[in-house]
Structure 1
Amino acid sequence: MQEIKRAAVIGAGVMGSGIAAHFANAGIPVILLDIPQSGFGKKNALAEGAIEKMLKADPAPFMLKKNADLITPGNTEGDLEKLKDVDWIVEAVVEKLEIKQDLYAKLEKIKKKDAVVSSNTSTIPLAKLLEGRTKEFQSTFMITHFFNPPRYMRLLEVVKGPETREDVYQAITHFADFNLGKGVVETHDTPGFIANRIGVYWLQTALVESLKTDLSVEEVDALFGKPMGIPKMGVFGLLDLVGLDLIPLIGGIMKASLPKDDPYCLGYEEPELLKKMISEGYTGRKGKGGFYRLAESNGKKVKESINLKTGEYSASKKAFLASLNTGKNDLKKLLSFGDKGGDFAWKVLSKVLTYAASLVPEIADDIVAIDTAMRLGYNWKMGPFEILDKIGPSWFREKLQSERISIPSLLEKVGEGTFYKIQDNKVHYLTTKGIYQPIARKAGELFLSDIKLASKPVAKNSSASLWDIGDGVACLEFHTKMNALDPEIMKMIQKSIEIVQKDYKALVVYNEASHFSAGANIGLALFVANLALWNLLEDIVKEGQSTYQSLKKAPFPVVGAPSGMALGGGCEILLHCDAIQAHAESYIGLVEVGVGLIPAWGGCKEMLSRWVNNSKRPGGSMVAVGKVFELIGTAHVNKSAFEAKENLYLRSNDEITMNRDRLLFDAKQKALKLVPNYKAPEDESFSLPGSVARVAMSMAVKGFVKIGKASPYDEVVAKKLANILSGGDTDITDDQTSEHILKLEREAFMELLKNPKTLARMEHILETGKPLRN
């Protein structure tokens, strides 16, 4: 089987076009086809229109807008011949068997011998799809079920047919893993596969049961949110996102596909409230609203929610239940609390967990596949069997028995134990035979969680830890809330520098949280500012600058490995690393102006270095400084690691990993490559344009204030930033040192921090999570 160098997607709907965009994100040229439209020059209108929509969409399907240039639009009437040279054809047309079969018959005559054809279906069995096809076609066919949106949802469920060649399967799964960043899960050819079989049952059960209670939609979503490790949108928020009109459609397909005695079929209902909402255009976020909607009151947008009994809307209220308060950190307490919230949570979750346990090995060979699918496909923090371990399988089983509920055999086999356990410093899982096997890791995967099981930290305090990850490389991990940076992290960085210099070859800065770091701890800074402890705050700023400079000047390579948000001080630590190995979904930016401050741990200095001292960037220092002013002054957050590279937050020698599970391994390898003949970077100087640039930047902001695109206080902050980036009150002919720029950062930061309007911005963002435009 050859490499995947060219691809095609047939079907330019939301899913098909999203798959095409993600091929383009991987740097693969892709042909996007849909049925031809009538009218001169309109034949490719569906594919062309899909590309245009994606360029405007938020969240963006493209990691860079220019990736759209890799997609060639076409139509299935005149352009099928163009597919004769592609390596992988993904079919994502309407879920009608005859349409798919007709398409495959045409592709069989056109595609090259080894080209793979796969279907994105999740409802039609593979055997039916292949009726009438030759064995040769069957040998290169499989189901590849992407989740929407394809760029962001990591799960790819794959179904092999009895004739599918192993080399074909390996080529596709390897490409999906390394190039598309997917968590590939092999599933059996059953309705809904894994994630939707359980996920749709969960949504259907929660919806039906909620209509039998007097709980509000907010209470249901709060119960099935954080306490269960489910995204905070919960049940009704997710239904609104999916689209209420799709719920009966999906439900009907599932009901028709499953045996009549399946728990899904036995509990299936089409609530009258849902029918009424759909008929009135309340189809969720894509319609007038759904279980939640935005209404206007006194000129302001107000979030409202529907009353599940009356169908009337009223202002949304925060959920408050005694069970929620008691069980916010203890799911078992929540499920056994006994109020209406606890009773409802137990009724729904017990059905979902029992259902999941009954489906092994029907839908997958083992519990690991099921837990992985629910984490990656529905963004649950824990899969069903991990949830069972959290509450205790024996407790769960006994509670089922007390309610005379049938116990799945796997739940009997676990006995008094757990579905997962640590043995020989490795995670083992319970098989269907009732024995434990270690979870197999793929070559090139390295998890800090595994290292933690097998060892103790080299050093640790309340905010950060240092770990030995093998081959002479250490890993610095933050573990505060949102990995916010505080003085304890600065202490651990300094300590890590001492330890690594003595005992290791290199350092990787990495963690396995959802976000690398949300930046400095604003709450701490605001608390100290309210006490007017200005000397202490200035010491914290100086300590941060000194710590990051020490990291940059360390006599060993330092590699930053971000994923998710790396903002403010979290971005600044990356700017001081020798190299970056970034996950593709890294959102990096200096956002301090949003709270009325400027980057003061060397962020301005480092961005000046990358733009002013970059010989490949034309236009001279004036243009370079202007670009840095734009990036920092607008609190720009790069929407992918690729965009961060274009804006020089990442440099040309920095690399990007598509699959999150491979990030630590890749970062470690990058660090080891830097070890031979390593020399710390020398001090830099900057040729800055001085007062001319400062005046130009200040005038630009003043113009934005006049037209309402910036607030008066934005102008105050921007002038401080302009002063730093232009070099301050110095002669234009003099080169400025790093220390001089750091001094300007400190002075500006402290002056702004003492301003009541900055303190108001800080307080507002802590209370609401939104910036204040004062």
Structure 2
Amino acid sequence: MASHPGNSLRRVCVIGAGTMGSGIAGQVANAGYPVLLLDMPGNDGNRNAITEAALERLRKSDPPALFSEDVLNRISIGNIEDDLASVADCDWIVEAVVERLDIKRVLYRSLQPHLKPEAIVTSNTSTIPISLLVEEMDDEFARRFAITHFFNPVRYMRLLELVRGEKTENEVVETLADFCDRVLGKGVVRCADTPGFLGNRVGVFALQVGIAEATQLGLDIETADALMGRPMGIPKTGIFGLYDLIGLDLMADVVRSLRAILPAEDPFHAVGGENALINKLCESGLTGNKGRGGFYRRGEDGAKLAIDLSTGDYRPRNRGVPERAESGGLAELVSGDDLNAKFCWNVLNRILRYSASLIPAVTENPQDIDDAMKLGYNWIKGPFEMLDEIGVETFVARCQAEDLTVPDFLRNNASGPIYRVDDGVLQVRRADGAYRPLDLPEGVVRFHLKRRELEPDSENPSASLFTLESGIRLVEFHTKANALDADSMALVREAAENPGRGIIIHNDGQHFSAGVNLQRFREFIDAGDWSGIDAFLDDFQQACRALKYCAAPVVGAPSGLSIGGGFEVLAHCSKLVVHTNVVLGLVESLVGLVPGGGGVKETFLRWYRKSGDWEQAAWNAFKQIGYGRTASSPDQAKSLAYFLPDRDETVMNRDRLMSAATRVVGEMESGYRPPEKPEFQLLGGDLHGRMHAFLEKGLADGTFHPHDVTVGSEIAAILTGGEQAEPRRASEQDLYDLERSSFVRLARTPQTRARIEAMLSGKGTLRN
């Protein structure tokens, strides 16, 4: 087994129990490591009041900061007056206190006498240079010191900016990079000790440019967000929605910090001044989603409102989507003379030119900036990937025609792309103009980059099928939210019928799959095409059956939402290798349907194998599917039988899913045999009657709504054989048939149609 430098870190201490410090401690504990969390002593007689409150915030956090509540058992707490000597047992001490140099320096001086010689100390600062942090410390401290800048929320944000000082030892940097990558699951970007590093420097600049351009052009905030969101490959919150999500007050502080540390000539200053409207909103308590609203809010009557940038007054929110937001790509997005095209061009050219201006002063590798934006701000493409989509030569020519300053890196390299594939290897152009292979740690594979080196064997609008160099086949979904349709499942079945050494089902989207395409089912329902629904489900089931009984191993490698039909695909795989931030579950009941791709069948079977009792298995599956229960981590999924700990594996870093899945296929392929076909025991009408009585009781006491009873009765019918059925043995196909029958009966009801409509229109779950 390969030796990893990060293995030397066994125990971690985090000092500072605020949002970031507690989040870092939580992620270390998620990874299975003991962590000591310290802060100032409390003033109310409870010396550990601050750290106790931090644990409670972790326990109640939404989205969950912890894999399960049991993780808290790995976090011990204390305060820096009574417990600082305890750092002597720690290999890595993370400082995450307030962004004040004087406070940090006092802490470091207090720490040093207690540190063992090989201990590493890092700061989570995003604004203070290392040279200032260690200025008053001796060389021994400076050699073991670095910056590890995490992003919030720590569990979910993938970027870790690692900054070394002049005296930082190579061993320290390599140890931190390895531990943060493999153990904490971070994409590590090594940054120079320059103001703002990379993620915030570009990301905050981009947000400020969006606000400035929308204000100057008189664009409403809904249009600005719709354009500077998904069409640009930026999360759908856009600018103003993201400000509300983070908090206007916090963003204002970040802007002030960058303004204070960036050089006077930096273009950030043109957009980073005080914003009177934002200050006014903050003073009124309108700090975003955590307060009473921000740029967006709800009125007293519940109506959705948006602010008018020119007047500062709220008005009804505009739900329309500008036509340009539906464009086919960046080149089309910025073409034309209309107001929306001007906004898109003005925003993009400023962001892309600013990013290029950081080369080589901040980094010599454009990939570092692209990685920072994709990992730290969830952009689908980084600035230099955007430049390639527009065309570097085209971009430079337009900038020059408009008398815009073009950074040297672009002007000197306008004759070709930033990224290219040469001899089957993806390369990136560096500051010196030369192309070199991507800089990724061994075992890290990002499939959105890897796929550029491959030609698909088969491809349609919803999915692609590749054969990797290893001879393993890979199925990739690539619709919006990776919703599944007939095309998706056609590629699944094609792979299962010719699997090569084995199959990996994986994609690099934010979500593995949010389930079957509900829009398509609404179309079937509106057309009254019940046979069409049945045929679709039959094809889906047969694709899943082909996976389950494939001649070679099938490994599902999901991350993010893997629910509904997405989980049904995974449930028929030989084994799962899942990212620890995966969300698994069957949620069809929430839209008035039942799982129709074998989800009820597989859940029933898994519970039987856990309990050995068909009735207990039926009850467990009945309640789990009826409530639409999901698990937000493999730890939680174990208790729901969505994740099988004696079979499946977890991976902390989603960029290592493909490598792990490839290894697993290799381990399984020799002598692989598909599973034996199971036989089920359906207990008939008596059990169905008891399940229906449970539903009626819930309706009477207000726990359930009328259509919940209808849906629950259909789930019971699948698990028991039906209201009038006698106990009998049943095959998998019998369960598939029962699922389809119940699905179609529910699809015929107006209540299910209403639930689907509510979900598709963004109103969420309708209880009717």
TM-score bucket of the superposed structures, by smaller chain: over 0.9
- Aligned equivalents of 1:756 and 1:224: distance in 2? 37
Match of 1:717 in 2: 711
Match of 2:168 in 1: 164
- Structure 1 residues 211, 540: closer, same or farther in 2, change over 3 A? closer
Q: Does 1:113 align with 2:117?
A: yes
- Structure 1 residues 320, 604: closer, same or farther in 2, change over 3 A? closer
The C-alpha deviation readout for 1:213-234, integer Å capped at 9, x for no partner, is 3221112212211221111111
Q: Does 1:308 align with 2:309?
A: yes
The C-alpha deviation readout for 1:460-492, integer Å capped at 9, x for no partner, is 445433211233321122334433333333333
Cα RMSD of the aligned pairs, angstroms, is 2.3
- Aligned equivalents of 2:92 and 2:584: distance in 1? 33
Q: In terms of mean alpha carbon deviation, does 623-632 or 710-719 score higher?
A: 623-632
Instruction: Judge conservation of contact 1:332–1:391 (CA < 8 Å) in 2.
Output: yes
- Structure 1 residues 190, 446: closer, same or farther in 2, change over 3 A? closer
- Aligned equivalents of 2:475 and 2:245: distance in 1? 37
- The DSSP-based 3-state class of the residue aligned with 1:8 is strand
- Aligned equivalents of 2:752 and 2:725: distance in 1? 31
Match of 1:250 in 2: 254
Match of 1:174 in 2: 178
Match of 1:600 in 2: 596
Match of 1:564 in 2: 560
The C-alpha deviation readout for 1:138-159, integer Å capped at 9, x for no partner, is 2221100000111111000000
- Structure 1 residues 439, 532: closer, same or farther in 2, change over 3 A? same
Match of 2:735 in 1: 741
Match of 2:482 in 1: 483
- Aligned equivalents of 2:558 and 2:261: distance in 1? 43
Following superposition, the deviation at residue 651 of structure 1 comes to: 0.8
- The DSSP-based 3-state class of the residue aligned with 1:648 is coil
Q: Does 1:762 align with 2:761?
A: no
- Aligned equivalents of 2:446 and 2:629: distance in 1? 31
Instruction: Judge conservation of contact 1:208–1:269 (CA < 8 Å) in 2.
Output: no
Instruction: Judge conservation of contact 2:256–2:272 (CA < 8 Å) in 1.
Output: no
2:640 corresponds to which of 647, 663, 678: 647
Task: Give the AA of the match of 1:568.
Answer: G
Match of 2:62 in 1: 58
Instruction: Judge conservation of contact 1:224–1:230 (CA < 8 Å) in 2.
Output: yes
- Structure 1 residues 672, 696: closer, same or farther in 2, change over 3 A? same
Match of 1:334 in 2: 333
Task: Give the AA of the match of 1:537.
Answer: I
- Aligned equivalents of 2:406 and 2:513: distance in 1? 43
Task: Give the AA of the match of 2:632.
Answer: K
Q: How does 1:228-247 map to 2 (within 5 A)?
A: 228-247=232-251
- Structure 1 residues 357, 710: closer, same or farther in 2, change over 3 A? same
The C-alpha deviation readout for 1:414-449, integer Å capped at 9, x for no partner, is 123222222222222221112222213432133444
- Aligned equivalents of 1:135 and 1:732: distance in 2? 81
- Aligned equivalents of 1:448 and 1:147: distance in 2? 23
- The DSSP-based 3-state class of the residue aligned with 1:137 is helix
The C-alpha deviation readout for 1:613-632, integer Å capped at 9, x for no partner, is 225x8xx5444333222221
Q: How does 1:253-402 map to 2 (within 5 A)?
A: 253-297=257-301, 301-318=302-319, 321=322, 324=324, 328-402=327-401
Following superposition, the deviation at residue 730 of structure 1 comes to: 8.5
- The DSSP-based 3-state class of the residue aligned with 2:441 is coil
Instruction: Judge conservation of contact 2:226–2:322 (CA < 8 Å) in 1.
Output: no
Instruction: Judge conservation of contact 1:590–1:632 (CA < 8 Å) in 2.
Output: yes
- The DSSP-based 3-state class of the residue aligned with 2:268 is helix
- The DSSP-based 3-state class of the residue aligned with 2:37 is strand
- Structure 1 residues 44, 548: closer, same or farther in 2, change over 3 A? same
Task: Give the AA of the match of 1:633.
Answer: G
Match of 1:701 in 2: 695
Task: Give the AA of the match of 1:772.
Answer: L
- Aligned equivalents of 2:490 and 2:340: distance in 1? 44
- The DSSP-based 3-state class of the residue aligned with 1:740 is helix
Following superposition, the deviation at residue 288 of structure 1 comes to: 2.0
- TM-score of the pair, normalised by structure 1: 0.94
Following superposition, the deviation at residue 769 of structure 1 comes to: 6.0
Q: How does 1:548-563 map to 2 (within 5 A)?
A: 548-563=544-559
Q: In terms of mean alpha carbon deviation, does 597-606 or 200-209 score higher?
A: 200-209
Q: How does 1:373-772 map to 2 (within 5 A)?
A: 373-449=372-448, 452-500=451-499, 504-615=500-611, 620-652=613-645, 653-687=647-681, 690-691=684-685, 693-728=687-722, 735-768=729-762, 770-772=764-766
Q: Does 1:9 align with 2:14?
A: yes
- Aligned equivalents of 1:580 and 1:553: distance in 2? 15
Task: Give the AA of the match of 1:631.
Answer: Q
- Aligned equivalents of 2:271 and 2:451: distance in 1? 43
- Aligned equivalents of 1:176 and 1:30: distance in 2? 15
Q: How does 1:199-210 map to 2 (within 5 A)?
A: 199-210=203-214
- Aligned equivalents of 1:667 and 1:254: distance in 2? 41
Following superposition, the deviation at residue 266 of structure 1 comes to: 4.5
- Structure 1 residues 690, 83: closer, same or farther in 2, change over 3 A? farther
Q: In terms of mean alpha carbon deviation, does 137-146 or 221-230 score higher?
A: 221-230
Instruction: Judge conservation of contact 2:684–2:728 (CA < 8 Å) in 1.
Output: no
The C-alpha deviation readout for 1:44-98, integer Å capped at 9, x for no partner, is 1111111112222211111222212221121111111222112211110001111
- Aligned equivalents of 2:543 and 2:701: distance in 1? 41
Task: Give the AA of the match of 1:213.
Answer: L
Following superposition, the deviation at residue 26 of structure 1 comes to: 0.9
Following superposition, the deviation at residue 370 of structure 1 comes to: 0.7
Instruction: Judge conservation of contact 2:421–2:453 (CA < 8 Å) in 1.
Output: no
- The DSSP-based 3-state class of the residue aligned with 2:217 is coil
- Aligned equivalents of 1:267 and 1:773: distance in 2? 46
**Structure 2: gaps (5+ residues):** none
Following superposition, the deviation at residue 580 of structure 1 comes to: 0.5
Instruction: Judge conservation of contact 2:41–2:47 (CA < 8 Å) in 1.
Output: yes
- Structure 1 residues 544, 251: closer, same or farther in 2, change over 3 A? closer
- Aligned equivalents of 2:453 and 2:256: distance in 1? 48
- Aligned equivalents of 2:139 and 2:105: distance in 1? 15
- Aligned equivalents of 1:320 and 1:475: distance in 2? 35
- Structure 1 residues 581, 400: closer, same or farther in 2, change over 3 A? same
Q: Does 1:43 align with 2:42?
A: no
Task: Give the AA of the match of 1:763.
Answer: E
Q: In terms of mean alpha carbon deviation, does 29-38 or 274-283 score higher?
A: 274-283
The number of residue pairs the alignment matches comes to 762
- Structure 1 residues 626, 113: closer, same or farther in 2, change over 3 A? farther
Task: Give the AA of the match of 1:404.
Answer: D
1:32 corresponds to which of 37, 47, 65: 37
Instruction: Judge conservation of contact 2:688–2:723 (CA < 8 Å) in 1.
Output: no
Following superposition, the deviation at residue 451 of structure 1 comes to: 5.0
- The DSSP-based 3-state class of the residue aligned with 1:293 is strand
Task: Give the AA of the match of 1:368.
Answer: Q
- Structure 1 residues 704, 363: closer, same or farther in 2, change over 3 A? farther
- Aligned equivalents of 1:543 and 1:348: distance in 2? 45
Instruction: Judge conservation of contact 1:226–1:328 (CA < 8 Å) in 2.
Output: no
The C-alpha deviation readout for 1:591-620, integer Å capped at 9, x for no partner, is 1112211112211111111111225x8xx5
Instruction: Judge conservation of contact 1:154–1:183 (CA < 8 Å) in 2.
Output: yes
Q: In terms of mean alpha carbon deviation, does 697-706 or 559-568 score higher?
A: 697-706
Q: Does 1:79 align with 2:75?
A: no
- Aligned equivalents of 2:310 and 2:477: distance in 1? 46
Following superposition, the deviation at residue 733 of structure 1 comes to: 7.1
Match of 1:20 in 2: 25
- The DSSP-based 3-state class of the residue aligned with 2:397 is helix
- Aligned equivalents of 2:343 and 2:483: distance in 1? 35
